[in-house]
Amino acid sequence: MKIRTGFGFDVHRLVEGRDLWLGGILVPHTLGLLGHSDADVLIHAICDALLGAANMRDIGYHFPDSASEFENIDSKVLLRKTVGLIASKGYRIGNIDATVCAERPKLKNYIPQMQKVLAEVMNIDVDDVSIKATTTEKLGFTGREEGISAYAVVLISKD
């Protein structure tokens, strides 16, 4: 069995007039994330981690922001496509461990729903999707509520 790990990171700016999508769910907030797609930083970090683990470059390579077909796309679609890409090389997901950095909104009550949605999209057990949330104690762009970032580590394997 071949086992590989991958790391992903993403960040998007918070702006008025956009919905806040995190982990595949709509989170009530006065601001949303700016991006070519729905700007779901958590899903984007997971996609990058999966692609990196399979040595398949990154999310921007496969789903460029210059392509109109990805404009305002639901990031769950990108995640499903990413799982298909790594499967084409024979890999399956072992587990995901991710952290979202946001001063506000508080995310702890949304994490179980995010885990459920992401597990369904990736066709894995909900217990294999760990999501944590933290603040930066009012430091940096996150602390000033200018943006939200996410980190993800994944384990993939093939026989």
pLDDT tens-digit profile of 10-44?
999 999 999 999 999 999 999 999 999 999 999 99
Global confidence as pTM: 0.97
67: pLDDT strictly greater than 90: no
Q: What is the pLDDT of residue 107?
A: 97
Q: Which residues fall in the annotated binding site?
A: 10-12, 36-37, 44, 58-60, 134-137, 141, 144
> CB–CB of 45/151 below 8 Å?
yes
Return d(Cα 154, Cα 156) in angstroms, integer.
6
Q: Which residues fall in the annotated binding site for a divalent metal cation?
A: 10, 12, 44
Query: Does the domain at residues 2-158 carry the CATH identifier 3.30.1330.50?
Result: yes
Mean pLDDT, the chain, rounded, equals 97
Residues of the chain with pLDDT > 70, as a percent, come to 100
